[in-house]
């Protein structure tokens, strides 16, 4: 486990999911971190090109709160870092009324911020917008290491990329059996 985490764009970190399962995460810009469909039983990433790896999700993180997940920062050249464009479309939580919430599909600003983001579609619903809800991430800052670890392990075990926290906004939402991107 790392004692501290310093944000350095394009740094790649080894994420320990259990004693025999590791994956990779890459710091991008403005607190966005990408997680990939690359798993290994050993902390050995020779030949790994993240440009060719399936991107599972990209979320804003509180990296210091997640430091218990990170084993080490890879040295330059241990992997080929991802240089694909960052997806600027995310979900933005919206409080409607007591115990009633929704989300909007937004486009982050050119500085990858949700402040001042353009709303693409508002008031998303399970009945009309399920594909959008399932295929986009919330723009809130993520800082719970156990929830992140469970999400990554669930994907590894099932092949389903599922954010359990979406049920807070959409209580009727069911875990998809499979959807594009899995």
* Distance in angstroms (rounded) separating the CA atoms of residues 106 and 35: 21
Residues in the chain: 182
- Placement of tokens 């500085």 in the chain: 111
- Placement of tokens 């389903």 in the chain: 160
Tell me what the pLDDT averaged over the chain comes to.
Answer: 93
User: How far is C-alpha 63 from the geometric centre of its chain's CA atoms?
Assistant: 12
Give me the residues of the chain with pLDDT under 70, please. Answer: 178-182
Structural element, H or E, at residue 21: strand 21-27
- Structure letter (DSSP) for residue 67: G
Position 178 scores a pLDDT of 57
Dump pLDDT digits (tens) for 93-137.
Answer: 998 788 888 999 999 999 999 999 999 999 999 999 999 999 999
Position 181 scores a pLDDT of 45
Strand order in the sheet with 100-107: 89-97, 100-107, 118-121
Region of 49 on the Ramachandran plot (φ > 0 left; ψ -120 to 50 alpha; else beta): beta
Give 98-102 contacts, CB < 8 A, sequence gap 24+.
101/168, 101/169, 101/170, 102/169
């Amino acid at each position: 486990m790392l004692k501290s985490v310093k944000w350095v764009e394009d740094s790649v970190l080894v994420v320990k999911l259990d004693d025999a399962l590791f994956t990779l995460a890459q710091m991008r810009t403005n607190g966005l971190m990408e997680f990939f469909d690359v798993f290994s039983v050993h902390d050995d990433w020779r030949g790994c090109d993240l440009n060719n790896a399936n991107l599972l999700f990209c979320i804003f993180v509180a990296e210091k709160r997640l430091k218990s997940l990170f084993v080490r920062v890879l040295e330059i050249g241990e992997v080929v870092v991802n240089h694909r464009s960052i997806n600027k479309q995310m979900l933005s939580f919206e409080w409607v009324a007591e115990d009633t919430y929704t989300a909007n599909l937004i486009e982050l600003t050119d500085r990858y911020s949700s402040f001042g983001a353009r709303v693409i579609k508002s008031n998303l619903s399970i009945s009309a917008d399920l594909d959008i809800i399932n295929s986009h991430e919330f723009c809130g800052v993520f800082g719970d290491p156990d929830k992140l670890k469970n999400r990554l392990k669930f994907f590894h075990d099932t092949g389903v990329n599922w954010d359990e926290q979406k049920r807070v906004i959409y209580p009727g939402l069911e875990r998809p059996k499979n959807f594009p991107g899995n």
